[in-house]
Structure 1
Amino acid sequence: MKILIKNGTVINHDRSEKINVLIENDQISALTKDEPSADKIIDATGKLVMPGLIDMHVHFRDPGFEYKDDVITGSETAVAGGVTTAMPMANTNPVNDNSAITKAMIKKARDRGLIDLLPIGAISQDCKGAKIVEMGDMIEAGCVAFSDDGLPVTDSSVMRQALEYSAHFGSFVINHSEDCSLCHGGVMNEGRVSALLGLKGMASEKEEIMVSRDILLAKKTGGHLHVAHVSSAWSLKLIDQAKKEGINVTCEVTPHHFTYDESELMGYDTNFKMSPPLRTNADVEAMREGLKSGLIDVIATDHAPHSWDDKFVEFDKAPFGILGLQTLVPLTLKLVDEGVIDYEKMVALTSYNPAKILKLSGKGEIAVGKLADIAIIDPELRYTYDAKLNKSKSQNSPLFGKELKGACVLTIKSGKVVFDFPNVVA
């Protein structure tokens, strides 16, 4: 089947141009000013044609917590946000710490046929931080990286082994950077706002101490460390120094950490409760500057669905986590509107850089011969993010019911249309 996308602006990490895209079967076969014949024609006038987004940090809650989300609804939520490749974390039940679970997750996603699901295996068995998993078997089964996300690897010798073994297999480690011995029981950023609210805080040093340790272990082993959901300005300073020293470190930031600060919690809204927590306005500005300068490699959502019952409790008792897949595009486009990044940098952060880190040679660009994973984005579309649009089983987003600007209006995966924005524009 041939699909022609015409009249759109094609955005790559290094260039933008008004050009038509011809897709044949599952690949991009031509970029042309002409209008060749096709079985399906998509008019993208006024829209941006970007490579399918790659989210390096999601939680699909499958297996074990399917009442929150599962691989099926996770896939549907992903493509509704323009994400065609997603990496679910291992903190499921049972934990994804063996090849059988990895294969089952991949098969479930493949059977649904919406996204490429690239599982992140646990670093340690049952995420208990004591003994590393059989990384070779799990990579052979389809894992692309290793993380006990949700729990840090506190034993430095275990983390060292993980960095050494993952490097041996050409993979890498993603650590949840948190020194749990500091600020035990904290529920938000430690500072003026936590004092006003009477809530126990989590000092930014809780993150920075672990980032520092892991950087030193990456230096020692030569392994690749990817720092998840950076939230602290000092964490970025440590990462910047590590990169300048030639240490193999990459990092990601979430839309909520470059958009919101701790003041959002003044209303005790549990949908703003996350780990790491929303920090100060100075930290938010540091995230934005890191995106602008190129210090931050990736934007990832840390999409973390929780049911209404989970979140509708006292703030101290509510779980950490926020939905992110369907708000990734509007919150990132807001950075463009505010002059922090441009469209090309947006593609680099959400598609090209993740593809490079993951060694996915067929993804991350709109170019002849690349896989036809494409997100068509309307940067001006205004709509209400609500139950009509939400594809997740959960609704734990502070943006639920709010008007947003900018959305993925059509998603193509391997040459097939897998999402089309419904006609429910506010």
Structure 2
Amino acid sequence: MRWFGFGFNAFGQIYVREKTTEVKSTDTVDEVKVSSPAELTLSKDCCLNTVVQIKASWSRRASLQLDGDNCVHLTGFGSVQPNESCGVPELSHGSDVFISEAYLTLGFSDKIEVWDLQKEKKTRSWSMEIKTLPETSGSHVSLPLVPGGYIAMKPPFYRPLSQHLKAKSLALSAEHAILLTASGDVYTWGQGSHGQLGHGGLSSEEEPRAVEALLGMPMSSVAAGGWHSACISDGGDLYVWGWNETGQLGLPSRGLRKAQQQQHAGASSQHSGSTPAEELREKEENEEVFISIQAFPALVDVTPSCEVQKVSCGHRHTAALTTTGELYTWGWGDYGQLGHQSSVSSDEPQCVEFFREKQMRVIDVVCGAWNTFAAVVKMDVGASS
């Protein structure tokens, strides 16, 4: 398995370009933006083939490596040397990792530790022992979920959850949370100013509240972006809601379409031979319903040929992985985080052709705030593209 990244790279979260003492660092644009998928690097002695999990914040990437000496490598802002390990202890078998901009959470088989990343010398800020409950022993839950509750992005780190929810997975953003229950129901709470809670309004919720529009349709996974949310049904359908300013919901965005029309008008103004009637007809054809905030879950048709098996959300972009191993991205693309080898934004899901052209099958996708990471394997001989 190989990992690739694209998008925001100002702190070397994706790769660090080697420089000589004779060359000054003036080409900052290429270092900040990675618009074409680039294979990730750790240190010279580490192999990414053994990395099973990646989590990302705005300025850092945490890579969980399982190869006999289980460890977490922290790459990006705050590293003393490029691609240096963050200095946290080795993790035991069955470990997990979760990262925010300020803290790194490590999951052991018998305890949870939270490390402060804001200090020059990484220090352990908080820890708690955990015991696997009998009723959950047959099912694995991932951070930030822990038995009886979840780990928040800021103190108090442990937040209890009602036992009746029977949480299966949890997605956290800086301002809201999305919980998936064992029965496939979706609950949200937190800040709702951009419709990201999916309850039809813009109010906030202090306690988990069921997304009524999804009741009766069991969901298999959930994801939280900066101000938008997503989930996948058992049948592989993708539902999204929240803010759509840069097309991150995959729905028509007025801002993006207006910018595209201005570019088109500028390119064609010098040789336009359209009659007034043709211009009026073109204007009417371009009239459509634009969506700035989608306060209820909306179905997005990523691709009619296959189902969606995983979705991940950045601050203002979204990535979806299909059952055929293809990666689709949409939303804000200024840093190349859509992987289309450009900085163009899009309010329509588009396939990342790089992996198809390289005959690679995508098996996992993780969005950072302004970047995207994908795990790939070589496509089987004879497999359909």
Say yes or no: TM over 0.5. no
Which protein, 1 or 2, shows the higher relative CO under an 8 Å CA cutoff with sep ≥ 6?
1
Bigger Rg, which one: 2
Q: Which has the higher helix share?
A: 1
- Scaled by the length of structure 2, the TM-score of the pair is 0.32
Give the TM-score, by structure 1 length: 0.30
